Amino acid sequence: MILQPIGGVMKKSSLEMAVGVFVIIGLLCVGYLTIKLGQMELLGDNYYTLYAKFNSATGLKPGSNVEIAGVRVGQVEDVILEPVMKIAKVTLKIEKGIELDDDSIASVKTSGLIGDKFILITSGGSGDILEPGGTITETESALDIEDLVSKYVFGDKKNK
C-alpha cells in the first residue's frame, strides 16, 4: 500500500516536468520570433549611422527602408525637426560594408502610386567615402502629390 502513492507522485511530477519543458521551449520560440520579426539586433550592431537633411520628409517614418538601386541597405532610424533651420533631419542606419561617396544623393521616394515612403540613395563618384556619423548633403524631398493636385484644381494663387 505504501508503494502505490509513491508511484502516483512520480507520474504526477513527470507530467509537471514535461509541461514545464514545453512552456520553456514555447517561450524561447516566442522570444526568437520577436527578435527576428521585429528586426532587432541582439548581439552587436551591423549598422552605422548617417544623417540627411530634407526640406520636407512628409510620410517618412522610423523603420522606412533605405535603398540603393532597389536593394535594401538600411532603414530610417529617426525623423526630427531641426529647430534652427526648420528642416527635417533624418537619421539613417546603413549596413556595415556599404560605403557611400560623400557626393551621394538621398531622395525621398514612394513605393507605387500611394505606397510607403522610403529613401533612395544614388551613389556619387567622388571616391571620398562618407564616414560614420557624416551627413549626406545632396538631398531631394518628396514630391507632394496633394500639393500638385490642389495647384492644378484651384490654380496657383501666388501668381494671381
Q: Could you tell me the residue ranges of all domains in the chain?
A: 1-40, 47-141
Distance, in Å, from the CA atom of 91 to the CA atom of 42, rounded to the nearest integer, reads 21
Q: What residues contact residue 123 under an 8 Å CB cut-off, 6+ apart? A: 68, 100, 101, 104
For residue 48, give the H/E element and its range. strand 47-54
**Per-residue pLDDT tens digits of the chain, which is 160 residues long:** 444 555 555 677 888 888 999 999 999 999 888 877 766 555 557 899 999 999 988 888 999 999 999 899 999 999 999 888 889 999 999 999 999 988 999 999 988 777 789 999 998 888 888 899 999 989 988 777 777 787 888 876 555 4
Q: Which of 73, 85, 71, 79 is nearest to 51 (CA)?
A: 79
**What CA–CA distances, in Å, run from 22 to 9, 15, 31, 155?**
20, 11, 14, 67
